[in-house]
Structure formats: structure tokens, C-alpha cells
């Protein structure tokens, strides 16, 4: 009986190994039950010759080899196990777990998996670094934690313990082991895609953080907002908007050096950022550190934008907004005043006053600085401003200036309405100092 069972077992092994046909379920079931019966007989103490043992070992070796080289055979065994709902532990009941010899496709998939995971891990490290550099709060820590967990899960497919876990999962799901390289590559590609999506979303997260602190009341502590804006800059270092918002907040926090550094970063990214040009010019003209040569570099950049006919229309429209234009003219007059070019200072300050009186409607947008500067200008010059070699100049108020015989021109604050102007300038300039923000 045992010899007949071994012969049947050998026949079934040969039959299912025929590459010209696909083994049917009944053949696989018969093979497994026959192998079970042989083992049961041998365990019962029945006499077995050495030749018969060698035949069984040869058939077993042949069956393992066929399972390792035939994906369809492993899949057939897998379906049979699931049909029978077997929990047997003998090796022939686990042929679907046989690790096949790697094919050329498997090797290519392994290389692609490694490349994708390496790139994704690099992106993931950069994302985590940006969150950590930005002085993380709860929002940032949540992002870092999620990225670390995602990296560990994806990386586990390449570790020995991860491979064992993957093999166990395939066994529990009754999936053929030859699909492991494909599954590992799929995990790497998904991980890379998620990391790329995360990296691409950093500018949007940065913009959200900037918008979340766009309007902070004057009497509120700015420390939490500073933390968020530092994170916004770390997530998107090329955001002029984030750098400028951070510079404004640093100014409110009485940190002028950090404010200046972020203004310079803003202009490095966007050289035509008009509010940043105005703020950095004002910074260099402020009392306590007047550096008019540096301020002139930025103010004349604005002046060129204002006068250049080839300047993009959106920049021109931004600079010609009444409040922005009045601030620009005020700062230009301030620059000339600091350089003791009083006629040019008077010209631009008066133009700023005219715009403030005629074009700025909202009371909260009205400016005080140009009035205060004009009052100081009147006090410093004693009511007389000399403008050499300006013949027949028509001034901001539309009045012809008197000229002298040597080709110079003088503007006199006499006892007419200009005295009232000076008094008005002094009154208008009282509420605020000359160091007020150019954005107010």
C-alpha cells in the first residue's frame, strides 16, 4: 500500500509540473492528501525501505522546485488552501510561501524600490528638518510625527524584521510570495508620491500660517504669531510674503536686526516688493541709525519703478495706490531732508500732503509724518529754501516760484497762506513721531 501511495504521489508531482497544462484543484487536493497519508503511514512504524525513502525525498525535492519556479502553481496551491481552510503546518501545506528564485523583473523591481525609497526618505528628512527648524508648535509636531511614522512604515519593507512581517502578512492573507517584490515596489512608489505631495504642499501650509496671523491687535502678545511665522519661513524659505510678514512682526516685537534681515531676504526673493522697499528705506532713515546712502539705494529703486514706462502695470498700479504713493513720496522727501537737499524734500513732502488731503478717504489711513517733516523743514530752514539753477519751476501747489538774477530760485514762507500751512503741519505732525511705520 505504501509503495502504491508513493507511486501515486510521484505521478501527481510529475502531472502538476507539466508546463503545457494548468493543474486543476482536484489534482492538488489529491497530491496534498496523498502526501499526508504517506507521512501518517511512515509515522505509524510501518517498515520503509531506503530506496522508497529516496523516492519520496526526490519527489519532495521536485515538488519544491516546481513550486519555486511556477507562480501559477503557487497560486493554485494558495486557492486550494483557502478552499480547504487548512491550518496544517507541514511544508507541503505552505507551498504558496515558497520564496521563488528572483527573476529579472524582481531584480528590476528591487532596484526601483530602493531608488524610490531613497529619494522619498531624502524628501521626508527635509520636510522634518523644516518643521523642526521652524520652532515647532503643536501644529508642527503633528506634521513631524506623521512624517516619521510614514517613513518607518515604508522603510520596514527593507529591514529583516520588516521582511519577516511582510512574509507573515502574505501567509495570513494566503498571497503568493512571488508578489512580494511587486508589493515592496508599490509601497516605495506610494511613499515617494506621498512625500512629493507633502513637499509640494509646504508652500500652501506656509501661506496658511501667514494668513492666520495677518491681523493681530496692537495690544496682543506677538510671541505665538512669531513662532508660526518662523515656521512659515522654514517651510517655504522662498516666500517673500512670509519673510515680509515676519519682518513686520519682528518690528512690533522691538527686534530691529531680525526685522532688517527678513526685509533683505524679502527683497532678495522679490526685488520689486514695494512694501519691503518702503520699510527698509524707512529703517535706514530712522533716528538713531541714519544711513541715508543705504536708504537711497532702495528709494531710488522705487523711484525708477515709478518713472520707468516699461515697468509692469501691476507694480505701477500698486505703487500708485493713494496711500502707498503718499508713503513713497513722504519717504523720498524724508531721504532728501536727511541729505539736506531741502528743496527736493519740500517738493516730495508737499506732494505727499496733497495726496493725503485729496485722495485718502479713510481716517485710519491718513498720514501724519509728511506734515511733521514739513514742520521740521520749515524750522530748520527759517522759512527759506534755495533751489539752485531751477528757472521758472512750477511747484506742487501750482504756483510759479520767483527767480533771482543768478539763475537760482527761492521759496519763501511769507505772511500769506503758507504760514497757515506751517501751523497746520505742526499740528498734524504732533500725534506721531517720525519713526512711525511706513505702512500706517
What span, in angstroms and rounded, lies between the C-alpha atoms of 303 and 314? Answer: 16
Same-domain check for residues 14 and 119? no
| Spatial CA neighbour of 318 closest among 275, 354, 284 | 275
Same-domain check for residues 142 and 186? yes
In the predicted model, residues of the chain with pLDDT beneath 70 are 71, 85-87, 96-102, 134-180, 217-219, 287-290, 382-440
Same-domain check for residues 172 and 152? yes
- Taking the CA atoms of the chain, what radius of gyration do you get in angstroms? 41
> Backbone phi, then psi, for 256, in 5-degree steps?
-65, -35
Residue 9, SS3 per DSSP: helix
Q: Considering the domain boundaries, does residue 249 fall inside one?
A: no
| Spatial CA neighbour of 218 closest among 331, 356, 364, 428 | 364
Q: How far are the Cα atoms of 18, 337, 374 from residue 380, in angstroms, in the given order?
A: 108, 10, 10
Residue 244 confidence (pLDDT): 93
Q: Considering the domain boundaries, does residue 146 fall inside one?
A: yes
Query: How would DSSP label each residue in 239-284?
Result: -HHHHHHHHHHHHHTT-HHHHHHHHHHHHHH-TT-HHHHHHHHHHH
Match 510561501 to its residue by C-alpha cell: 97
Range 355-360 contact pairs with CB under 8 angstroms and sequence separation of 24 or more: 355/322, 355/325, 355/326, 355/329, 356/326, 359/322, 359/326, 360/322, 360/323, 360/326
C-alpha cell at 178: 512571488
Domain of 23, in residue numbers: 2-97
pLDDT tens for residues 334-349? 888 888 888 888 888 8
Domain's final residue, options 152, 186, 207: 207
- The answer to whether the beta carbons of residues 395 and 421 sit under 8 Å apart is no
Same-domain check for residues 128 and 92? no
Q: Considering the domain boundaries, does residue 59 fall inside one?
A: yes
Domain's final residue, options 72, 97, 122: 97
| Spatial CA neighbour of 183 closest among 156, 219, 161, 144 | 156
Residue 320 confidence (pLDDT): 85
Same-domain check for residues 394 and 413? yes
Domain's final residue, options 97, 124, 142: 97
CA 26 remoteness from chain centre:
59
- The answer to whether the beta carbons of residues 353 and 392 sit under 8 Å apart is no
Residue 397 confidence (pLDDT): 34
- The answer to whether the beta carbons of residues 387 and 409 sit under 8 Å apart is yes
pLDDT tens for residues 87-146? 677 877 777 666 666 677 777 877 888 788 788 878 877 887 777 776 555 555 555 566
**Residue burial 244-254, b: 16+ Cβ < 10 Å; e: rest:** bbbbbbbbeee
Q: Considering the domain boundaries, does residue 234 fall inside one?
A: no
Q: Considering the domain boundaries, does residue 290 fall inside one?
A: no
CA atoms 84, 89, 92, 94: torsion sign: positive
Amino acid at each position: 500500500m505504501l509503495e502504491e501511495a508513493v507511486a501515486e504521489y510521484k505521478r501527481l508531482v510529475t502531472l502538476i509540473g507539466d508546463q503545457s497544462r494548468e493543474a486543476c484543484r482536484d489534482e492538488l487536493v489529491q497530491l496534498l492528501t496523498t502526501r499526508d497519508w504517506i507521512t501518517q503511514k511512515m509515522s505509524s512504524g510501518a517498515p520503509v525501505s531506503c530506496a522508497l525513502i529516496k523516492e519520496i525525498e526526490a519527489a519532495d525535492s521536485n515538488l519544491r522546485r516546481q513550486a519555486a519556479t511556477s507562480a501559477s502553481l503557487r497560486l493554485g496551491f494558495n486557492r486550494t488552501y483557502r478552499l480547504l481552510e487548512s491550518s496544517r503546518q507541514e511544508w507541503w501545506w505552505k507551498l504558496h510561501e515558497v520564496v521563488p528564485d528572483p527573476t529579472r523583473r524582481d531584480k528590476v523591481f528591487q532596484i526601483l524600490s530602493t531608488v524610490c525609497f531613497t529619494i522619498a526618505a531624502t524628501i521626508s528628512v527635509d520636510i522634518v528638518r523644516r518643521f523642526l527648524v521652524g520652532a515647532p508648535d503643536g501644529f508642527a509636531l503633528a506634521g513631524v510625527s506623521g512624517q516619521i511614522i510614514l517613513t518607518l512604515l515604508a522603510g520596514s519593507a527593507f529591514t529583516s524584521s520588516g521582511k519577516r512581517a511582510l512574509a507573515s502578512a502574505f501567509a495570513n492573507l494566503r498571497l503568493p510570495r512571488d508578489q512580494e517584490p511587486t508589493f515592496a515596489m508599490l509601497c516605495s512608489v506610494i511613499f515617494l508620491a506621498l512625500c512629493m505631495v507633502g513637499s509640494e504642499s509646504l508652500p500652501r501650509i506656509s501661506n496658511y500660517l501667514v494668513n492666520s496671523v495677518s491681523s493681530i491687535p496692537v495690544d496682543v502678545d506677538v510671541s505665538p504669531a512669531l513662532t508660526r511665522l518662523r515656521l512659515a519661513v522654514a517651510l517655504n524659505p522662498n516666500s517673500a510674503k512670509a519673510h515680509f510678514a515676519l519682518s513686520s512682526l519682528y518690528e512690533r516685537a522691538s527686534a530691529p536686526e531680525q526685522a532688517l534681515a527678513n526685509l533683505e531676504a524679502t527683497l532678495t526673493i522679490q526685488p520689486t516688493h514695494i512694501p519691503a522697499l518702503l520699510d527698509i528705506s524707512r529703517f535706514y532713515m530712522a533716528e538713531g541709525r541714519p544711513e541715508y546712502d543705504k536708504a537711497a539705494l532702495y528709494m531710488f529703486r522705487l523711484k525708477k519703478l515709478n518713472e520707468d514706462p516699461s515697468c509692469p502695470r501691476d507694480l505701477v498700479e500698486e505703487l500708485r495706490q493713494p496711500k502707498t504713493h503718499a508713503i513713497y513720496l513722504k519717504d523720498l522727501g524724508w531721504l532728501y531732508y536727511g541729505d539736506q537737499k531741502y528743496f527736493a524734500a519740500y517738493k516730495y513732502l508737499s506732494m505727499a500732503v496733497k495726496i493725503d488731503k485729496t485722495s485718502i478717504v479713510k481716517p485710519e489711513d491718513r498720514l501724519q509724518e509728511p506734515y511733521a517733516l514739513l514742520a521740521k523743514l520749515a524750522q530748520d530752514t527759517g522759512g527759506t529754501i534755495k533751489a539752485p539753477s531751477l528757472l521758472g519751476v512750477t511747484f506742487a501747489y501750482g504756483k510759479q516760484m520767483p527767480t533771482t538774477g543768478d539763475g537760482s530760485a527761492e521759496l519763501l514762507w511769507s505772511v500769506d497762506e503758507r504760514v497757515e500751512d506751517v501751523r497746520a503741519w505742526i499740528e498734524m505732525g504732533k500725534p506721531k513721531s517720525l519713526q512711525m511705520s511706513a505702512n500706517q
